């Protein structure tokens, strides 16, 4: 799945201002980009570059667990999918 396709699926009504690299990843099978929307909101988009969304699903579960059970600030997750959508742009 491409970054453009993932953004279109997750945020079909949002206007994207910029998409930039978020820096190096410890896992070459994931890709993370910084997304700035036209309204000024910034989010990070993580993709499973090899199409295996299980890593992203596990990371989402860990973030949810830490948010509920630990005194640690974690980023909000605004959208998530653990499998590739059928529509790819």
- The pLDDT tens digits of the residues spanning 7-58 come to 998 899 999 999 998 877 777 888 888 899 999 999 888 888 888 888 888 8
Domain residue spans of the chain: 3-69
Contact call for residues 16 and 38 (beta carbons, < 8 A): yes
Note if the pTM is more than 0.85: no
Predicted confidence (pLDDT) at residue 83 exceeds the cutoff of 70: no
- Find, among 62, 60, 66, the residue nearest to 78 by Cα: 60
Q: Report the candidate in 33, 38, 41, 42 with the shortest Cα–Cα distance to residue 3.
A: 33
For residue 58, give the H/E element and its range.
helix 54-69
Q: Is the pLDDT of residue 65 over 60?
A: yes
């Amino acid at each position: 799945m491409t970054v453009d396709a993932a953004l279109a699926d997750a945020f079909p009504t949002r206007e994207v201002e910029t998409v930039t690299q978020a820096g190096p990843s410890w896992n070459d099978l994931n890709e993370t980009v910084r997304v700035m929307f036209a309204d000024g909101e910034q989010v990070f988009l993580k993709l499973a570059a090899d199409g295996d969304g299980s890593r992203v699903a596990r990371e989402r579960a860990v973030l949810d667990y830490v948010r509920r059970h630990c005194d640690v600030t974690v980023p909000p997750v605004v959208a998530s999918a653990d499998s590739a959508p059928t529509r790819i742009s």
